[in-house]
Amino acid sequence: MDNLELAKMANEIRKGIVTAVHSAKAGHPGGSLSAADIFTYLYFEEMNIDPENPDKPERDRFVLSKGHTAPGLYSTLAHRGFFPVEDLTTLRKLGSYLQGHPCMQHIPGVDMSTGSLGQGISAAAGMALGGKLDNRDYRVYTLLGDGEIEEGQVWEAAMFAGFHKLDNLVVVVDNNGLQIDGPIDQVCSPYPIDKKFEAFNFHVINIDAHDFDAIRGAFKEAKETKGMPTAIIAHSLKGKGVSFMEGNVAWHGTAPNDEQYAVAMADLEKVGEALCQK
């Protein structure tokens, strides 16, 4: 897909996020929206995956370490064809397979159940080592929140990945600057994020998380990097695409009411119309 096609798909994924969280009356829209462009590039351009055969052994793996942003992953999987887009409105409903955190037993395309922050990167590192030991060619991608990397387990996993030279592992940090309690640099600052990963023997790339040229270049560079894992620090805007959510920590884990939902969808419709005129 070219950049315009990717941007249009990312906008549709954002609509799915807002729709799912509104329907559930609960969930995490802010960080799902900030990561939507990364999700889009991974699933529509980067990863070797097949919705018709989601468990194929040679597929690339993805672990959503910041599991509470499941609406972003679900919307992406639905638009990629793993399950019906209409099912997004069942988010968090009793009996639905789309619960508040991803579950690998019930959701096609989910490679690891996640939710407890800090644990996803450990699972991803284990998958990457497994691929090395089995002489497999698959690659492993994991998405972390910048608040999440305050967890100590993240750095244990980073030490492990760097030590084992897991060049089939790509760690993406959604650096939107906000976590549930406020700005990350006021809660428990993880900065400088890039230097920390470098200290654990990672190749580090800083990018604009909403620039598809930058995203494309970063994943290409990661694939060409040998002998060490890659960390992509994706500088993003929390709530991207929805006017009243952008840069507002209140929307970390709050669902829009009916009036707010209408405004949000109107915002995204305008984005879509602008993209169609390009």
- Domains of the chain with bracketed CATH: 3-277 (3.40.50.970)
Amino acid at 52: E
Residue 278 is predicted with a pLDDT of: 84
> Are 144 and 69 within 8 A, CB to CB?
no
Residue 149 is predicted with a pLDDT of: 98
pLDDT in tens, 166-189: 999 999 999 999 999 999 999 999
The predicted model gives 119-145 an average pLDDT of 98
Locate 257 and state its tokens. 């009411």
The predicted model gives 228-249 an average pLDDT of 98
The predicted model gives 22-48 an average pLDDT of 98
> Are 7 and 44 within 8 A, CB to CB?
no
> Are 91 and 71 within 8 A, CB to CB?
yes
d(C-alpha 29, C-alpha 71), whole Å = 7
pLDDT category of residue 199 using cuts at 50, 70 and 90: very high
Residue 240 is predicted with a pLDDT of: 98
d(C-alpha 230, C-alpha 225), whole Å = 8
The predicted model gives 121-143 an average pLDDT of 98
Q: Model pTM greater than 0.85?
A: yes
pLDDT above 90 (res 133): yes
Percent of the chain with pLDDT over 90: 100
**Beta strand ranges found along the chain (DSSP E):** 61-64, 140-145, 169-175, 178-179, 182-183, 203-208, 230-235
Residue 200 is predicted with a pLDDT of: 98
Percent of the chain with pLDDT over 70: 100
Phi/psi-derived region of residue 227, left when phi > 0, alpha when psi is between -120 and 50, beta in every other case: left
